[in-house]
Amino acid sequence: MEFKKLSAGTIYKHLTIGALIGSLPVGLLFGISSMFDMSSIKLNETPVMGVMALVVAPLFLFFVSIFFITLIVLGLWIYSRINKTKVYYYRDENS
């Protein structure tokens, strides 16, 4: 298949789901280690520890991921306006 333009919403949706799945376990690991005083998370140069770190770490990583995803989607959207983009589709034999 060949497309003239890529939908920014479709790319954004898939990358956001991937970022959520990828950043949640890492954020929980950071939060748990900070909860047990193995390390500390700093937010505005203030250490966050305890249960609050368990909440802050995954949220912070997710929002940082969203920022970079936005830059990637913007770049892909601009690129799709300049060049045609090829998408390869492989049919699943089981469906």
Q: Are 79 and 85 in contact (CB under 8 A)?
A: yes
Q: Letter for the amino acid at 58?
A: P
Kindly state the tokens that stand for 74. Answer: 């913007």
The domain ranges of the chain are: 55-83
Listed residue (29, 28, 59) closest to 43, CA to CA: 59
In a structure prediction context, what are the per-residue pLDDT tens digits for the chain, which is 95 residues long?
556 566 778 788 888 888 888 888 888 888 888 888 777 777 788 888 888 888 888 888 888 888 998 898 888 878 878 887 777 777 777 76
pTM of the model: 0.66
